[in-house]
Amino acid sequence: MLARPLQYRSLISTYEPYNDQAVRPWREANDRVQRIGGWRSYAKDVSDKTPASGDSGTDGHNATHGGVKP
């Protein structure tokens, strides 16, 4: 079985430099935030997420100990 030759592709070849976003008037930006629900919308997104493992993480440090030493 013949091995395929190694291929190298630099990540720099696909690099796209950062482009500044267009500046909007602050009043327009504030109105947009209000339309989507304001800061509460962002807070709701975070609070709705559940841990990926299903573990609530409430056991804390005690969960790693086997108990008290005799």
Rounded-to-integer distance, Cα 58 and Cα 50, Å? 13
pTM score of the predicted model: 0.33
Per-residue pLDDT of 25-58, as tens digits, reads 999 989 988 898 888 887 776 666 665 555 555 5
- pLDDT score of 18 more than 80: yes
Residue pair 51/57 in contact by the 8 Å Cβ criterion: yes
The DSSP code sequence of 5-32 is PP----GGGG-----PPPP--HHHHHHH
Once rounded to an integer, what is the mean pLDDT over residues 54-63? 56
Confidence band (pLDDT; 50, 70, 90) for 11?
A: confident
pLDDT at 25: 94
pLDDT of residue 40: 83
Distance (Å, whole) CA 35 – CA 68: 55
